[in-house]
Amino acid sequence: MTTTVASQDGATVLTVAGEVDLATAPALENSIEAILNGKPAALIIDLTDVSFLASAGMAVLVATHQRAGDATKIAVVADGPATSRQLRMTSLDQVFALHSTLEAALAGLRGA
């Protein structure tokens, strides 16, 4: 798993690629924690290039939402059977904003 961080339209975008499982979830959590320590107004976690999302990865997303509270708006980009399907089946799309593209996530944050 790899992560990259960029700033786009006032949001911090964390792009994740590869497999997010029990072995890699702690690294994802560390990346997110480092970002949240900077208190960004918005964080978009882009899972477009994630090929496998295990429950450990989903737990990191829930913890991120809880840790961010009202200080940071969280949005997740996930499209396809490896990511969005699991997030919808577990109703996590009701916990945080779920978008199919980065552009949709950015638009959603602008409209929020």
Residues of the chain scoring pLDDT < 50: none
**Predicted TM-score (pTM) of this structure:** 0.95
Q: Note the pLDDT of residue 112.
A: 54
Q: Domains in the chain, please, with CATH?
A: 2-111 (3.30.750.24)
Whether 84 and 78 have beta carbons less than 8 Å apart is answered as yes
Q: Write the pLDDT tens digit of every residue in 52-68.
A: 999 999 999 999 999 99
